[in-house]
Amino acid sequence: MLHITGTFIDEITHDIPAQNWGAKEWARDFDAMQAIGIDTVILIRAGYKHQATFASEVLSDRVGILPVYTDLVDLFLTEAERCNMRFFFGTYDSGHYWHSGQYREEIEINKAFCDEFYERYGDRKAFGGWYFCHEINTYDNNVMHVYEDLSRHLCGLCDVPILISPYIKGIKQFGTEAISLERHIQEWESVFARIEGLVDIVAFQDGNVPLAELPHYLEANCNLARRYGLQSWSNVESFDRDMPIKFPPIDFRKLRYKLEQGDRAGINKLVTFEFSHFLSPNSAYPAAHQLYQRYREWLQL
């Protein structure tokens, strides 16, 4: 049975409340990750609008940033090194350029921002991948340009894999706007045909479709990835999309079911969004402490 061996880190967030951890609390949480076999951490984005995870001169010059009081990239690299984990660096999300026709601006900022990251932290032992934070659910020509141009640029810097984590345009998030499984496959045929050889790993989010339909999506996603030479990971969401509170830790039964189905479909690796809020014994949500217990009991970890 496949275990969860990777997690996103969401410390510059769009919609998840801050836990306000300091260095000591982060170290304790990396210990908890390691205790269940996590070997990969993915910084979901290194900058978002006016926020940054390190004191980036690039972002400061090009978009203006709020003060950075703690170098989170250094902190997470240090913890990843201490715990023998691989660190994926998430790119910058302006919050608007790539949603409009100005995607070239998003590309240019990110090239310079990744250069800056690579110059500062590229020799760190834990650094082992890029994560493209620009999430899509269907074919999007502008974002294809972002992926293509950025991928070519980063391949010039170093040889580490590139990860994306798309969402499914499913009924749980889009209601009547949701698309069918057939349409999902068509859309992602078009995406993968375009980015084959430029992106190495695809980890679809697994929480946008009803549980009963998930096996079909996992199978389709694995087949698609295989045909285009991508590794197929699953982003096993550990938060619950079915509740009026956005978002609490997921019901263990749902998590277990999704993990079992990912394993059955032949997924290469299971990662989660995300450990520290929703699956951690240190989480600000007490239900996450219990989820961690149930998860460990189940896998006898």
Which residues are near a second copy by CB under 8 A? Answer: 15-22, 25, 50-51, 64, 66-67, 69, 211-212, 240, 243-253, 256-257, 260, 284-287, 290-291, 293-294, 297
Q: Quick one: 3 or 294, whose CB is closer to a second copy?
A: 294
CA distance 174 to 253: 24
CA distance 60 to 119: 16
Q: Quick one: 69 or 182, whose CB is closer to a second copy?
A: 69
Q: How far is the CB of 204 from a second copy (least distance, A)?
A: 20
Q: How far is the CB of 59 from a second copy (least distance, A)?
A: 13
Q: How far is the CB of 14 from a second copy (least distance, A)?
A: 9
Q: How far is the CB of 240 from a second copy (least distance, A)?
A: 6
**Two tokens, residue 189:** 């045929």
Q: Quick one: 10 or 187, whose CB is closer to a second copy?
A: 10
Q: How far is the CB of 257 from a second copy (least distance, A)?
A: 6
CA distance 133 to 78: 22
For residues 207 and 241, is the Cβ–Cβ distance under 8 A? yes
Q: How far is the CB of 69 from a second copy (least distance, A)?
A: 6
Q: How far is the CB of 35 from a second copy (least distance, A)?
A: 18
Q: Quick one: 22 or 101, whose CB is closer to a second copy?
A: 22
**Two tokens, residue 195:** 């980015």
Q: Quick one: 156 or 286, whose CB is closer to a second copy?
A: 286
Q: How far is the CB of 111 from a second copy (least distance, A)?
A: 24
Q: Quick one: 12 or 203, whose CB is closer to a second copy?
A: 12
CA distance 88 to 63: 23
Q: Quick one: 101 or 286, whose CB is closer to a second copy?
A: 286
Q: Quick one: 102 or 290, whose CB is closer to a second copy?
A: 290
